[in-house]
Amino acid sequence: MAQSAEDLLETTTRALAPDPVANPFVPLVERGEAAPRTLARLALEQQWVIPADRRSFEYLAQRADPASAAFFTTLATGEELAARHLTAFSRACGVTEDRSRTYVPLAGCQAYPAHVSWPALNAAPADVVLALTANFSAWGDYCARIATGLRTHYGFTDESCAFFDFFAEPAPDLDGQATAAVQAALDAGTLDTNGAHTYGSLLQAYEGMFWTSLG
């Protein structure tokens, strides 16, 4: 029996799940041990990541089939909202406009959006849907844990935690769009699961570099 999109998304997400102890940064926030300067660095790096990812998703939407285009359009819209939430988090971390303007990002942190742009230019969109969906599972968990730590140990408000709350929340509509996109590619015989697994593995590795580089 042919594998369904739901099964493929589930097995790929499970196969690409990162080592639970591979992220050194999130546990520090959970325990209240992350220095304020590293929280500010997180905000500053995300000020580069969010617009870069949004443009990649917009480009993917432009060249995708209708099912995949719906998924990427939702992602791009989400990045716009996340950018507004990021402003409040940055302000809570003491990041000024001057600091944002002069900040030089870390290569290890920007490897992730740089890689997102590669499949945006070169990969079949449905393959990218599969890779990203697997990656988002870990990212959402990290965001939930950071939000809890910020509230518990740093006194951050709901407004200043909204960036992380946004990504931590379940997204059933997006999940449905991912399933539809993958199923359409399966039905058409165009899905490259090996390629998607490669893109997803790289995304997880580069995300690991992001957290490690924050120091």
Can you give the residue ranges of every domain in the chain? 5-214
For residues 170-179, give the mean pLDDT: 95
Query: Which class for 194: exposed (0-12), middle (13-18), buried (19 or more C-beta within 10 A)?
Result: exposed
Nearest to 202 by CA among 97, 152, 149, 131: 131
Instruction: List pLDDT tens digits, range 108-148.
Output: 999 999 999 999 999 999 999 999 998 898 899 999 999 99
Are the C-beta atoms of residues 85 and 166 closer than 8 Å to each other?
yes
Structure tokens at 45: 């790096």
Instruction: List pLDDT tens digits, range 121-131.
Output: 999 999 999 99
Which range (1-15, 151-165, 198-212) has the least confidence?
1-15
- 32 pLDDT more than 60: yes
For residues 173-191, give the mean pLDDT: 96
Count CB-CB contacts under 10 A for residue 207: 21
Q: Which comes out higher in pLDDT, residue 12 or 21?
A: 12
Nearest to 26 by CA among 37, 38, 44: 38
**Looking at the domain 5-214, which fold is it?**
Heme Oxygenase; Chain A (1.20.910)
Structure tokens at 200: 């997803």
**pLDDT for res 19:** 82
Percent of the chain topping pLDDT 90: 92
